[in-house]
Amino acid sequence: MVVYLVGAGPGDPDLITLKAVKALKKANVVIYDRLANNEILKYAENADLIYVGKKAGEHYKKQDEINQILIDQGKKHQNVVRLKGGDPFVFGRGGEEMLALLEEGICVEFIPGVTSAIGVPTSSGLPVTHRGIATSLTIVTGHEDPTKPNKQVKWDFKADTIIILMGIGLLEENTKEIMKYKDPKTPVCVIENGTSPDQRIITGTLEDITQNHINTPALVIVGKVVDVFKESLLKKAKLEKVEGK
């Protein structure tokens, strides 16, 4: 009787860890979200599959209901996998699920995943830190729970790089807030459907990035590291020209 909280990575099925594959192979049941690439489920050869994913603005199952499903399955089966997109503890509500399971006396084990916050920029060749340019980074939600009595996100971050998850719906409001503390010309990069064949990259600045139509899932990177990325694209294009690609 153990529930594994497992990260599925940001989308590309090859970005799952070996440890996650091993857990899926021995699972009796897998409870999974929308963001986890469905191809990953092929490893769960002997498991029943339970979908509990949520879509933006459309809550298929409430968190309490998901916790209850985990508890029920955890009590019934030897090996349960709770599979989540990216890393289970980065805006994945993995902490709440962990506490709910422990409260019921169910053992929990943790298998980290490649978080989209870092894995998506890295897969695109965008370094989130860079010597002499960015020595710190902040990962923040762009959509704080509207039912919270007090907002925790103030947007006055000191970090050189800001990475915003769930930040597309309120991009205009959030960039306006950031511009109270950072130069409006600060470079911004949006990566849509990162690590998937549909990946799209849009660059701009804090003051003009909202002029683009952006599809979700997408994340937003704010800071001078975006210029490093652009420089690398130029170098890559030059190289490809020389190689005649």
The residues that are catalytic are 33, 54, 166
Nearer CB in complex with ligand SAM: 84/242: 84
Stretch that binds ligand SAM, among 64-72, 87-95, 154-162, 231-239 (CB under 6 A): 87-95
User: C-alpha 124: how far from its chain's center?
Assistant: 15
Per CB under 6 A, which of residues 142..171 are in contact with ligand SAM? Answer: 165-166
Answer yes or no whether residue 120 interacts with ligand SAM by CB under 6 A. Answer: yes
Contact between residue 141 and residue 165 where contact means Cβ atoms under 8 Å apart: yes
Task: State which of residues 4, 5, 6, 11 lies at the interface with ligand SAM (CB under 6 A).
Answer: 11
Stretch that binds ligand SAM, among 122-130, 171-179, 214-222, 233-241 (CB under 6 A): 214-222
Residue 51 C-beta: closest distance to ligand SAM, Å: 16
3-state SS track over the chain: CEEEEEECECCCHHHCCHHHHHHHHCCCEEEECCCCCHHHHHHCCCCEEEECCCECCECCCCHHHHHHHHHHHHHHCCEEEEEECECCCCCCCHHHHHHHHHHCCCEEEEECCCCHHHHHHHHHCCCCCECCCECCEEEEECCCCCCCCCCCCCCCCCCCEEEEECCCCCHHHHHHHHCCCCCCCCEEEEEECCCCCCCEEEEEECCCHHHCCCCCCEEEEECCHHHHHHHHHHHHHHHHHHCCC
Answer yes or no whether residue 223 interacts with ligand SAM by CB under 6 A. Answer: no
Answer yes or no whether residue 86 interacts with ligand SAM by CB under 6 A. Answer: yes
Answer yes or no whether residue 219 interacts with ligand SAM by CB under 6 A. Answer: yes
Nearer CB in complex with ligand SAM: 74/86: 86
Nearer CB in complex with ligand SAM: 28/141: 141
Answer yes or no whether residue 74 interacts with ligand SAM by CB under 6 A. Answer: no
Nearer CB in complex with ligand SAM: 87/160: 87
Task: State which of residues 4, 71, 92, 111 lies at the interface with ligand SAM (CB under 6 A).
Answer: 92
Residue 238 C-beta: closest distance to ligand SAM, Å: 28
Task: State which of residues 85, 112, 121, 223 lies at the interface with ligand SAM (CB under 6 A).
Answer: 85
Contacts with 52 (C-beta within 8 Å, 6 or more apart), sequence order: 31, 32, 33, 60, 61, 65, 66, 69
Interacting residues toward ligand SAM by CB under 6 A: 10-11, 35, 84-87, 90-92, 115-117, 120, 165-166, 191, 193-195, 216-219
